């Protein structure tokens, strides 16, 4: 079948009602979990082939998070699917109100290359739990992982889940189809194109994009803790993480000491006998190697900077300015610019005028100051005294705002993102006879009383 035929086939499958039974959805979730374990070793090998990602990294950043999402949905999908009673107003007395969760229909999930398992399967979990059928488009930048996903998910009925491989040609054809919901994770350039295409059919979308997510290390921060947690967050997956701290602002009073501790941590984490560990992940392809290395200014490099094929060392740059090339785009690689600040309030004023980032991280010993900063700064999600870990909590919705995206998921929010909430009011035979013409003073007074309008 071509792409249009696949979408039409899924629409007929959805119209058949096969996805509406919650027990069927549960069985599909359990099957998905079983398939994850069945193909785990093949997935590990595929990650090594595509960009040298070790089994430990695959387990920690891909497999574990995905299984946790499936387990959450298996546990909660029946409760999430039930009608929910709501109270009604005196105007509608006597009446009852309730909310129904309805699947959209045929959903398109477009996944990126940087976490090709997690960011493919986690949206899929929400989509099938909510009762949709799904067309999946994994990235062609990680072809080996995508082929394993194609084989693994091919064990489902194609009416429920269909995987489309390929590149720009297939994306173009997919974007021209009429879907009932679109979930996209990737860059803002493709996100804009997809949103424009979706507008032709008035298709709702969720966009998980990115941006330059800052980290602030204040003068009262625990520097050992900040160095450890920010180094891990920045260089995880060789910096190819949408919520990675893109750049650090460090207070001038502690900058030199922080850099000293940061370099020591990077050496401890990623080097052995003075050499970069062989399992440090590769940059995904040569195109991105050229782009990332083009952001490095050698005279500002204080650590790293060497490249071996597609393996770029963790690279730290100091004395960076806002106008430098490395500050003009999301880095998405193991290059870390460090900037200095003196006044936190002035820094926040500047940050509020920038595009809203996907993530924000603040390090300080002051709980009161941290609460104020997290309230003032605009961002999708963030951490105090940590990085990245907010997305591992299924009770914290994950998503962006402004240019960093729209919509959110994880945990119950994944279910709601792929559901339309229908409102239902059930009226009894009797009612307050106020709304019907003709109007008189008695009805007017009664309405003012009910509406709490004062003369």
* Token code pair at residue 308: 């071996």
Report the alpha-carbon distance of residue 373 to residue 220 in Å, rounded.
14
Cβ-count burial 236-275 (b if 16+ within 10 Å, e if not) = bbbbbbbbbbbbbbbbeebbeebbebbbebbeeebeeeee
65-78 burial, b at 16+ Cβ within 10 Å, e below that, comes to: bbbebbebbbeebe
Which one from 208, 313, 330, 413 is the annotated catalytic residue?
208
Quick check: is 208 catalytic?
yes
| C-alpha dist (Å) from residue 132 to 42, 162, 328 | 28, 12, 39
142 as an active site residue: the answer is: no
SS3 for 346?
helix
Nearest of 67, 61, 30, 69 to residue 397 by alpha carbon: 69
Separation between Cα atoms, residue 240 and residue 115, nearest integer Å: 9
Determine which helix (DSSP H) or strand (DSSP E) holds 23, and give its type and residue range.
Answer: helix 22-38
Give the active site residue among 122, 242, 313, 413.
Answer: 242
How far apart, in whole angstroms, are the C-alpha atoms of residue 179 and residue 195? 12
Question: Any idea what the Cα angle at residue 125 is, between residues 45 and 243, rounded to 5°?
Answer: 70
Q: Which residues are designated catalytic? A: 208, 242
């Amino acid at each position: 079948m071509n792409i249009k035929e696949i979408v039409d086939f899924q629409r007929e499958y959805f119209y058949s009602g096969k996805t509406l039974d919650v027990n069927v959805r549960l069985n599909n979730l359990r099957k998905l979990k079983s398939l994850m374990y069945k193909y785990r070793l093949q997935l590990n090998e595929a990650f090594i082939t595509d960009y040298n990602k070790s089994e430990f990294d695959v387990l920690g950043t891909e497999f574990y998070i995905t299984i946790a999402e499936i387990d959450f949905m298996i546990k909660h999908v029946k409760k999430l699917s039930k009608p929910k009673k709501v109270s009604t107003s005196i105007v509608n007395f006597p009446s009852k109100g309730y909310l129904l969760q309805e699947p959209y229909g045929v959903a398109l999930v477009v996944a990126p290359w940087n976490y090709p398992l997690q960011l493919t399967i986690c949206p899929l979990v929400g989509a099938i739990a909510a009762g949709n059928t799904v067309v999946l488009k994994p990235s062609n930048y990680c072809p080996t992982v995508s082929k394993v996903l194609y084989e693994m998910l091919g064990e489902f009925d194609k009416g429920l889940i269909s995987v489309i491989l390929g590149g720009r040609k297939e994306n173009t054809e997919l974007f021209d189809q009429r879907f009932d919901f679109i979930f996209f994770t990737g860059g803002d350039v493709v996100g804009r194109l997809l949103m424009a295409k979706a507008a032709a059919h008035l298709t709702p979308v969720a966009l998980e994009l990115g941006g330059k997510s800052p980290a602030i290390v204040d003068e009262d921060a625990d520097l050992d803790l900040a160095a450890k947690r920010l180094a891990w967050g920045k260089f995880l997956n060789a910096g190819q993480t949408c919520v990675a701290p893109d750049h650090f602002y460090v207070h001038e009073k502690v900058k030199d000491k922080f850099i000293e501790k940061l370099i020591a941590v990077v050496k401890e984490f990623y080097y052995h006998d003075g050499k970069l560990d062989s399992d440090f992940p590769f940059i995904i392809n040569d195109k991105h190697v050229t782009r990332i290395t083009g952001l490095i200014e050698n005279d500002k490099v204080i650590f790293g900077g060497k490249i071996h094929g597609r393996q770029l060392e963790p690279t730290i740059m100091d004395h960076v300015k806002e106008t430098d090339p490395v500050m003009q785009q999301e880095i998405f690689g193991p290059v870390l610019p460090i900037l200095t600040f003196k006044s936190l309030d002035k820094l926040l004023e500047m940050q509020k005028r920038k595009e809203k980032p996907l993530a924000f991280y603040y390090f300080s010993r002051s709980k009161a100051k941290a609460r104020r900063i997290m309230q003032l700064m605009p961002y999708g999600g963030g951490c105090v005294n940590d990085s990245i870990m907010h997305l591992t909590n299924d009770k914290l919705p994950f998503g962006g705002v402004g240019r960093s995206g729209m919509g959110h998921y994880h945990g119950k929010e994944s279910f709601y993102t792929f559901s339309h909430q229908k409102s239902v009011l059930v009226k009894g035979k009797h009612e307050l006879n106020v709304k019907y013409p003709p109007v008189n003073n008695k009805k007017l007074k009664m309405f003012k009383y009910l509406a709490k309008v004062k003369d």
